[in-house]
């Protein structure tokens, strides 16, 4: 019996009925990862430890959680004790952490099994998963096409049915955009909903962990375990965690969904625009009401993000100096030469570019003009969201302006071209709001994503609206043809 493409609920039922053991389930997941190794979605497999853990769960015979015995993949920036964590960078290519990230710990406490660590854009910097030291990840729907970034390895592993779900992180769209390009569901929770402790930082005020899965229901299952206050994380929210499955089946009749006036959808590919209009009609048929709203400062989101994120990246990555851990250059003349050569050899081009931009923005004489000003504009963007959510429940946009594209077809000459891939996703990170991407069709045989943005701590409304849509459509059941990856 193949477990490929089965949901968490389906796998849980098979385990409950003893139709499959946890060990069999885990081993098949690992074999699928090996079978489709050409996807390049895993950096490290956790074969021996995951099999031992699976055997222990089988012996215990206690299924206390929907995640008990379920194989998951972890994005390779979550620290895992004793298991290599690289951030897909040469500078951390041999780093083995002495501790485990809170989010991984929570998922494993719920009974899940980590089968491996997934490939990603280096230090989560990128929108296409082409900046990894370990090579690009292929989109399961089309070889030689990007899966989106930075959580492209996690998205590809779920889309290929290797695992039912995986963790990702979202700094400017890095869960939602790969979810859209790979035809799965990806949720970026409210900033602070999930602990960042043990999650290697890119931009601390923007980074947020979240789940990637085939459906909104599976995302809700993961979110129930991932969420909660963590005293080790000063940005963790000390608020009650609801059961995200409790109201997931509620009717959305009467829900008010905003369409953002400032996003000119006529600039989109004609077929992408058509899918959006069809989904809007589907929500209207489910009883939702659409209202045009204005977010006057949202057009400043991309430049604001690319002032704040590189500045925080410059600060966070200053610790990688070749002294304490990570890659260390050989044949150096003195300490300063060690720093320069270790960082030059260890970081890739995109990471270096963002460190340079961020260091410049934080330097004397430029801090007020760039970083401080960007934070002020960020507040204006947040205020705009606060205002519109007084009259609506959700916002709806495309997730990405385009479908997945060929390797090296964007950003090679002009990096800004690639930065604009996150046009629709960045604003919710700046405002700290939850957002979800769900599949809603295809264009030229490649998936297209629909984004819903919710109010602060209202992941329940997002998951409800996404789940009801999926209950009335089959887009999330679509499976890629993986013949080219065997």
CATH number at residue 248: 3.90.1300.10
Q: Judge whether 204 and 358 are in contact, CB under 8 Å.
A: no
pLDDT band at 326 (very low <50, low <70, confident <90, very high): confident
29 a catalytic residue: no
pLDDT of residue 421: 81
Q: pLDDT category, 325, cuts 50, 70, 90?
A: confident
Q: Which of 443, 404, 400 is nearest to 424 (CA)?
A: 400
Over range 227-254, report the average pLDDT.
Answer: 96
| Residue 368 belongs to a domain | no
Q: Is 363 a catalytic residue?
A: no
| pLDDT(444) > 70 | yes
Question: Higher confidence at residue 364 or residue 48?
Answer: 48
In a domain, 299, yes or no: no
> Catalytic one among 75, 106, 117, 341?
75
Single out the catalytic residue among 150, 215, 301, 437.
Answer: 150
Percent of the chain with pLDDT over 70: 99
Q: How far apart are CA 237 and CA 153, in angstroms?
A: 28
Phi, psi values for residue 392, rounded to 5°: -135, 170
Residue 413: pLDDT over 70: no
Q: Residue 168: inside a domain, yes or no?
A: yes
- Strand order across the beta sheet in which 185-188 lies: 42-45, 113-118, 71-75, 165-170, 208-213, 185-188, 435-443, 446-454, 394-398, 256-260, 289-293
Kindly state the helix (H) or strand (E) to which residue 212 belongs, with its residue range: strand 208-213
Report how many domains make up the chain. Answer: 1
**Structural domain containing residue 407:** 8-255+391-485
Q: Please state whether beta strands 71-75 and 435-443 pair in parallel, antiparallel, or not at all (unpaired).
A: unpaired
> pLDDT-derived band of residue 1, with 50, 70 and 90 as boundaries?
low
472 CB neighbour count, 10 Å cutoff: 11
Give the model confidence (pLDDT) of 119-157 as tens digits.
999 999 999 999 999 999 999 999 999 999 999 999 999
The long-range contacts involving 46-49, CB below 8 angstroms and separated by at least 24 positions, are: 46/80, 46/83, 46/114, 46/115, 46/116, 46/117, 47/115, 49/82, 49/83, 49/114
In a domain, 324, yes or no: no
Strand partners of residue 454: 394
Residue 305 lies inside a defined structural domain of this protein: no
Per the domain annotation, does 294 fall within a domain? no
150 carries an active-site annotation: yes
Domain presence at residue 318: no
Residue 151 near residue 169 (C-beta atoms within 8 A): yes
181 belongs to a structural domain: yes
Q: Taking the model in full, what pTM does it have? A: 0.96
Residue 187 — φ and ψ, nearest 5°?
-120, 125
Catalytic residue among 154, 174, 307, 437: 174
Report yes or no: 434 and 458 within 8 Å, Cβ to Cβ: yes
Please report how the helices 459-471 and 270-285 are oriented relative to each other, as an axis angle in degrees rounded to 10: 100
């Amino acid at each position: 019996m193949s477990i490929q493409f089965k949901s968490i609920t389906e796998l849980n039922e098979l385990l409950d009925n003893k139709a499959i053991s946890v060990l069999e389930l885990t081993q098949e997941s690992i074999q699928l990862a090996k079978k489709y190794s050409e996807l390049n979605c895993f950096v490290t497999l956790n074969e021996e430890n995951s099999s031992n853990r699976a055997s222990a769960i089988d012996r215990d015979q206690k299924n206390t959680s929907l995640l008990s015995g379920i194989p998951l993949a972890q994005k390779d920036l979550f620290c895992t004790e004793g298991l290599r964590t690289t951030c897909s960078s040469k500078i951390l290519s041999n780093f083995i952490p002495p501790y485990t990230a809170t989010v991984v710990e929570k998922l494993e406490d719920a009974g899940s099994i980590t089968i491996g660590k997934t490939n990603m854009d280096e230090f989560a910097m990128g929108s296409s998963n082409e900046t990894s030291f370990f090579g690009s990840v292929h989109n399961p729907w089309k070889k030689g096409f990007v899966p989106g970034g930075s959580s492209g390895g996690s998205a590809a592993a779920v889309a290929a049915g290797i695992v039912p779900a995986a963790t990702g992180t979202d700094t400017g769209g890095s869960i939602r955009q790969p979810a859209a390009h790979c035809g799965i569901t990806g949720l970026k929770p409210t900033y602070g909903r999930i602990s960042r402790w043990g999650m290697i930082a890119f931009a601390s005020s923007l980074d947020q962990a979240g789940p990637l899965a085939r459906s909104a229901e599976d995302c809700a299952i993961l979110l129930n375990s991932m969420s909660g206050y963590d005293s080790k994380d000063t940005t963790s929210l000390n608020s009650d965690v609801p059961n995200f499955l409790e109201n997931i089946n509620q009717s959305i009749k009467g829900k008010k969904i905003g369409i953002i006036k400032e996003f000119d959808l006529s600039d989109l590919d004609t077929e992408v625009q058509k899918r959006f209009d069809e989904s809007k009609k589907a929500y209207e048929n489910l009883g939702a009401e659409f209202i045009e709203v204005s977010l006057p400062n949202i057009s400043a989101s991309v430049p604001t993000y690319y002032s704040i994120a590189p500045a925080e990246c410059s600060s966070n990555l200053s610790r990688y100096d070749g002294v304490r851990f990570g890659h260390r250059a050989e044949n150096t003349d003195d300490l300063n030469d060690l720093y320069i050569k270790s960082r030059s050899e260890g970081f890739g081009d995109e990471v270096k570019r963002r460190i340079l931009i961020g260091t410049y923005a934080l330097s004397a004489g430029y801090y007020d003009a760039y970083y401080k000003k960007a934070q002020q504009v960020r507040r204006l963007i947040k205020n705009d969201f606060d205002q519109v959510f007084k009259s609506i429940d959700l916002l709806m946009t495309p997730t990405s302006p385009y479908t997945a594209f060929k390797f090296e077809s964007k950003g090679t000459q002009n990096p800004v071209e690639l930065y604009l891939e996150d046009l629709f996703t960045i604003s919710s990170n700046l405002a700290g709001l939850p957002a979800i991407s769900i599949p809603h069709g295809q264009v030229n045989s490649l998936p297209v994503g629909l984004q819903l943005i919710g109010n602060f701590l209202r992941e329940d409304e997002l998951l409800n609206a996404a789940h009801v849509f999926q209950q009335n459509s089959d887009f999330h059941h679509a499976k890629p043809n993986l013949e080219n990856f065997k």
